[in-house]
Amino acid sequence: MERLKVNLCGIELDNPVIPASGTFGFGYEFAELYDINLLGTFSFKGTTRDARFGNPTPRIAECYAGMINAVGLQNPGVDKVIEEELPKLKKCFNKKVMANVSGFSIEDYAYTCERLDAIDQVGWLEVNVSCPNVHGGGMSFGTNPSAAAEVTKAVKAVTKKPVIVKLSPNVTDIVSIAKACEQAGADGISLINTMLGMRINLRTRKPVIANKMGGFSGPAIFPVAVRMVYQVANAVSVPVVGMGGVSTAEDVIEMMLAGATAVEVGAANLVNPYACRDIIADLPAVMDKYGIKNLSEIIGGVK
């Protein structure tokens, strides 16, 4: 449907809906449920240079209108992703996929991105400098403008694919970090990753999560995400991918009005595995309701 199309860093998407990294695996679990080719694209499970088991369990805690996770970037490592996961995905997904990459050093990021740059299936590199669940990596690059810029530069040097830097909300001034990434050559900015949170079990008086803290996501954080997308979109000229608690077609439109070119959907997939399919199906009617002819017209359209 023409009216849902958007262009993200030079690649046309049939619609702006993108399942967020860490909530959609490598796609094929969901392909058993519905044709995932109806998605704009999806961002695959955060991939690192080496295989990682992640954090001890429990890794999940429930909250009002959301959840905390502390998975800790469990993934088979970039080599296995390329050798095993992507060929499996190819059988059920014929669009370009967004490759989500994380690392523990500048060299890690560059290595992993260089490997993925060679893969035709990969359309964009989403560089995660914002994982709250690993120590000495991830978020430590995303909480400092110069460190975020350095990662961006290093990745840009090894790839011709568009680089979208994924930012953390757990900072004092997200705009300065977004600007630093843009100046370093980022082709897009995606935000927000999860907010650092914690729950305590009243009976045991221990944190619910083994890693004590984790990333808070779900509808509860949506207003924070809209605010930050708005701030960043007004400060940079590259496309912004908005995410954080998006669960409905209305949320997608609100996020786009705030300035998002495309919208990622995370925690909602875990509760309703059909969430993205349903959102895409609902979009035309919701657009009609609000007098929107084409979605691309409303990007940053908040008055």
Partner 1 sequence: MKQSIFTIKTNTPLTDNVYEMTLTGDTSDITAPGQFVNILIEGLFLRRPISVCDCEGDTLTLVYKVVGKGTEKMASMQEGQALDVLTGLGNGYDLSKAGKHALLLGGGVGVPPLYMLAKKLIENETTVDVVLGFNTKSEIFYEEQFKKLGANVTVTTVDGSYGEKGFVTSVIDNIDYTHFYTCGPEPMLKAVHKATKTSGQLSFEERMGCGFGACMGCSCKTLTGNKRICKEGPVLSKEEILWKD
Report the alpha-carbon distance of residue 218 to residue 67 in Å, rounded.
6
Q: Which residue has the tokens 């695959």?
A: 44
Interface with partner 1, residue 161, by CB under 8 A: no
Q: Which of 218, 242, 244, 259 lies at the binding interface for partner 1 (CB under 8 A)?
A: 218
- Does position 71 interact with partner 1 (CB under 8 A)? The reply is yes
- Stretch of 63-71, 154-162, 180-188, 234-242 lying at the interface with partner 1 (CB under 8 A): 63-71
- Of 53-61, 92-100, 113-121, 148-156, the window that binds partner 1 (rule: CB under 8 A) is 53-61
Q: Does 169 sit near partner 1 (CB under 8 A)?
A: no
Q: How far apart are CA 66 and CA 195, in angstroms?
A: 11
Identify whether the C-beta of residue 19 lies closer than 8 Å to the C-beta of residue 264: yes
Q: 237 and 209 in contact (C-beta within 8 Å)?
A: no
- Looking at the Cβ atoms of 64 and 205, the one nearer to partner 1 is 64
Task: Find the DSSP H helices in 81-173.
Answer: 86-90, 106-117, 139-142, 145-156
Catalytically annotated residue among 9, 113, 131, 181: 131
What gap in Å lies between CA 261 and CA 240, rounded to an integer?
6
Closest to 139 in 3D by CA, of 168, 113, 169, 163:
168
Options 74, 121, 144, 296; binder of partner 1; rule CB under 8 A: 74
* Contact predicate 98/135, CB 8 Å: no
Among 77, 185, 273, 284, binds partner 1 (CB under 8 A): 273
Total residues binding partner 1 (CB under 8 A): 34
Is residue 64 near partner 1 by the rule CB under 8 A? yes
Active site residue 131: yes
| Nearer CB in complex with partner 1: 67/181 | 67
Three-state SS at 37: helix
Q: Which one, 274 or 290, has the nearer CB to partner 1?
A: 274
CB of 190 to partner 1, least distance (A): 19
Three-point CA angle 122, 127, 131, nearest 5°: 130
Nearer to partner 1, 218 or 259 (CB): 218
Strands laid side by side in the 195-198 sheet: 60-63, 66-69, 213-217, 195-198
Report the catalytic residues.
Answer: 131
Tell me which residues touch partner 1 (CB under 8 A): 22-25, 29-30, 32-33, 45, 53-54, 56-67, 69, 71, 74, 218, 267, 269-274
